[in-house]
Homo-oligomer: A and B are copies of this chain.
Amino acid sequence: MAKTAVLVYSGGLDTTVCIPLLREEYGFEQVVTVTVDVGQPREDIADAEERARLLGTEHYTVDARAEFARDYCVPAVKANADYQGYPLSTAIARPLIALKAVEIAQQLPRVDAFVHGCTGKGNDQFRLEFIMRTLMPHVPIIAPMRERNLTRSEEIEYARARGIPIHQSTDKIWSIDENLWGRSIEGGLLEDPNYVPPEEIYRWTRNPQDAPNTPQMLTIEFEQGTPMALDGQRMEPLALIQTLNEMAGMHGVGRIDMMEDRMIGLKVRENYECPAAIVLITAHRALEALVCARDELRFKAQADRAWAELAYAGLWLDPFKESLEAFINKVQERVTGTVTLRLFKGSAAVVARTSPWALYDEALASFDTHDFNQSEMSGAVKAHGLPARLYYQLKQRRGER
């Protein structure tokens, strides 16, 4: 059996260059390329297939979109996915991509290495390798870009020398990543935090100035934390997210411009377009605010933050994540109801919400006052801030004021 490498393959320059590198420099006879469809542009999938054919790899395209929507994006909604303002679009797709590569590998007669195209500065190396190393711990992992520090022009030259067709992207300015849950744009001039992003970086969201002049009202129905319907029409998560990306994108909703702390401690400027993610999480939060009381909301925010840090780090199989989700899912049992939003010129604002589990209810409110005499509150008011008042007495006695 031929010495075989399984390459996580996007079809882009970095991973394409890996193919001849693996043969020439690492001595692999067989390169298996795996492209996982998580909602990136159709042409990227096609490019990957075409190049794999040209370069003679054993190629697999795995359509993981429905699974991504159901098992990755929906849990992200339940956890109000938010790492420093970023809804974790790239982050949550990486474990699934690695998982699919592992599934292919497990069916091959021989696997000698996993290969990915990540560099040594980013987050994705951590995310992909964690999954591979967890599920197939004895298979070595090779990261040619990290090991060889190739520049972009060296890569292009290398590819051209081998007759690999390269898009006219020599002049590529931005580094893009795209899936169902969002689109990220980074690099080039955007690295300067004080550079105002040009309109051209956006593809999914219309410029708010060019968005419709009339607001669009939208209702989202949730059942136990899962979005089930848009404007009364039930949809599977995949269709719902796709529809919402278009609908909200048309109104210029979903743009994010932020500073982000990467895993190794570098701070970078990032721009994202995440129309569906932003709308769903905004609506979901509003519903939780209706059905959970203060202490639970405060703790849920901490659990969500912990979840987001695990998701950012790609630790999708961490038992801690399962424990957090046990909490999150228990809370979701009450996160059922309908939220109404107004989409308009770049913003998505919640304007109404209702739930059978609402902790507000006219009937309940009146019920609760039937034996509530306002004047009985005097004791609570007198007890309020008691320790602070004692402190103040002490301070005055000591003449410190």
A residues lining the B interface (CB < 8 Å): 84-85, 119-121, 125-126, 129-130, 133-135, 137, 140, 143, 145-147, 149, 191-197, 208-209, 213-215, 255, 257-259, 261, 264-269, 286, 289-290, 292-299, 302-303, 305-306, 309-310, 313-315, 317-320, 322-324, 326-327, 329-331, 334, 340, 344-347, 349-354, 356-362, 364-365, 367-368, 371-394, 398
Contact = CB atoms under 8 A, between A and B. Distances in A.
Q: 5 nearest interchain CB pairs?
A: A120-B374, A376-B379, A293-B387, A380-B380, A326-B330
B377 A361 contact: no
A373 B362 contact: no
14 contacts: A120-B379, A121-B374, A134-B392, A194-B340, A196-B340, A258-B286, A267-B359, A268-B360, A293-B388, A295-B306, A296-B323, A318-B391, A359-B387, A379-B380
Given A125-B381, A382-B376, A334 B354 contact: no
Given A134-B392, A193-B360, A349-B346, A384 B209 contact: no
Nearest to A260: B289
B386 A265 contact: yes
B326 A326 contact: yes
A377 B125 contact: yes
Given A213-B209, A330-B322, A374 B293 contact: no
- Residue with the greatest number of chain B CB neighbours at <10 A, chosen from A85, A293, A340, A346: A293
B130 A384 contact: yes
A120 B375 contact: yes
A152 to B, nearest CB: 14
Nearest to A360: B267
Contacts of A378: 120, 143, 146, 376, 379
Contacts of A353: 193-194, 259
